[in-house]
């Protein structure tokens, strides 16, 4: 397969990119931004996406802010063109170490070396690791458009299948993670290593010694967008296991609550029952790894 015909444009800076998007749309085109191209190009090759114009952000890599990783310990800021591999190979403070650890789940090395953090978030795949991590760590996407810059919190970002709050004429310029989580982990299952996950789970635990006092549970692959699971979070906060010690009994209860709360799609060959079983297994596994508890 080959992509449908399109015109190609190179943006020299963020203002130029926004201007190109606006002008092309005004002229009746359907422009798309391309950075790493690891999501868009395969979709174009199979003609699942047919933009009439591409605006390449590659030249913006020369701008230090677009590839900067700024770890302030209370917040982590990533430039929009930071790659998965850059996060995989940088030493982050304990509150954001889960980002580095989670990168091993992202495709294969060539994909991680080209694909970008912001590109993954704007693409909005419900199983994408960055989308789950954004909800887990209260990420804020900073987007620039014709009206200037605005901030999009993660809980307002994901609207459904490949649909996000970023407007067609906006460019994400940075992503800030504002909730450090020193006890966090992401776990997923795919048919083959590097494939898209069938289900993935991200967990952050609040610990007081050996006791779990709260936390977050985020799932992908069980709904059109990544979702937090308040029923499972209530168990972590003591809604059923008060003052629960970090261990198998508590984590099994959290996993059961997560599996019971979801209404996953039922589409052969991956049935809803199978996704629930995966959810139960992956949530328990992520809880154990977040707490540092052996199997």
Average pLDDT over residues 123-134: 97
Average pLDDT over residues 104-132: 96
pLDDT in tens, 59-93: 999 999 999 999 998 999 999 999 999 999 999 99
- Spatial contact of 157 and 222, defined as CB atoms under 8 Å apart: no
pLDDT at 240 over 90: no
Q: Is 39 helix (H, G, I), strand (E, B) or coil?
A: coil
Query: How far apart, in whole angstroms, are the C-alpha atoms of residue 252 and residue 258?
Result: 10
Cite the beta strand spans of 146-183 per DSSP E. Answer: 148-153, 158-160, 163-164, 171-177
Q: Quick one: which H or E segment has residue 33?
A: strand 31-34
Predicted confidence at residue 203, as pLDDT, reads: 98
Q: Is 133 helix (H, G, I), strand (E, B) or coil?
A: helix
pLDDT at 295 over 80: no
Rounded to 5 degrees, φ, ψ at 238 are 110, 5
58: its two tokens? 């590659």
Average pLDDT over residues 93-119: 96
Query: How far apart, in whole angstroms, are the C-alpha atoms of residue 257 and residue 263?
Result: 12
Helix axes 248-261, 272-291, angle to 10 degrees: 150
Query: How far apart, in whole angstroms, are the C-alpha atoms of residue 232 and residue 89?
Result: 32
Q: Is 140 helix (H, G, I), strand (E, B) or coil?
A: strand
Produce one character per residue of 89-107: b if its CB has 16 or more CB atoms within 10 Å, e if not: eeebeebbbbbeebbebbb
User: What's this model's pTM, rounded to 2 decimal places?
Assistant: 0.95
Query: How far apart, in whole angstroms, are the C-alpha atoms of residue 187 and residue 284?
Result: 9
pLDDT tier for residue 242 given thresholds of 50, 70 and 90: very low
Tokens 């390449």 correspond to: 56
20: its two tokens? 């190109």
76, 182, 201, 239 from 96: Cα distances, Å: 7, 7, 17, 27
Least confident of 31-35, 118-122, 125-129, 290-294: 290-294
């Amino acid at each position: 397969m080959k992509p449908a015909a399109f015109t190609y444009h190179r943006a020299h800076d963020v203002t130029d990119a926004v201007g190109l998007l606006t002008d092309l749309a005004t002229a009746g085109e359907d422009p798309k931004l391309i950075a790493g191209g690891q999501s868009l190009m395969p979709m174009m090759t199979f003609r699942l996406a047919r933009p009439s114009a591409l605006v390449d952000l590659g030249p913006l890599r020369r701008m230090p802010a677009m590839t900067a990783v700024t770890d302030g310990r209370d917040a982590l800021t990533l430039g929009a063109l930071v790659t998965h591999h850059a996060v995989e190979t940088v030493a982050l403070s304990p509150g954001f170490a889960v980002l580095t650890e989670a990168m091993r789940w992202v495709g294969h090395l060539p994909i991680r070396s080209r694909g970008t953090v912001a590109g993954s978030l704007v693409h909005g795949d419900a199983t994408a690791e960055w989308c789950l991590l954004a909800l887990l760590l209260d990420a804020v996407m900073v987007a620039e458009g014709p009206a200037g810059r605005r901030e999009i919190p993660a809980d307002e970002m994901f609207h459904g299948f490949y649909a996000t709050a970023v407007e067609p004429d906006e460019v994400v310029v940075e992503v800030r993670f504002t909730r450090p989580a020193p006890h966090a982990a992401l776990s997923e299952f795919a048919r083959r290593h590097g494939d898209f996950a069938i289900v993935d789970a991200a967990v952050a635990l609040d610990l007081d010694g050996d006791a779990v006092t709260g936390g977050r549970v985020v799932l992908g692959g069980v709904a059109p967008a990544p979702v937090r699971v308040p029923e499972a979070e209530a168990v972590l906060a003591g809604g059923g296991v008060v003052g629960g010690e970090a261990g198998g009994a508590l984590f099994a209860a959290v996993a059961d609550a997560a599996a019971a709360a979801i209404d996953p799609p039922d589409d052969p060959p991956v049935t809803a029952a199978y996704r629930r079983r995966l959810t139960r297994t992956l949530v328990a596994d992520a809880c154990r790894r977040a707490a540092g508890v052996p199997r």
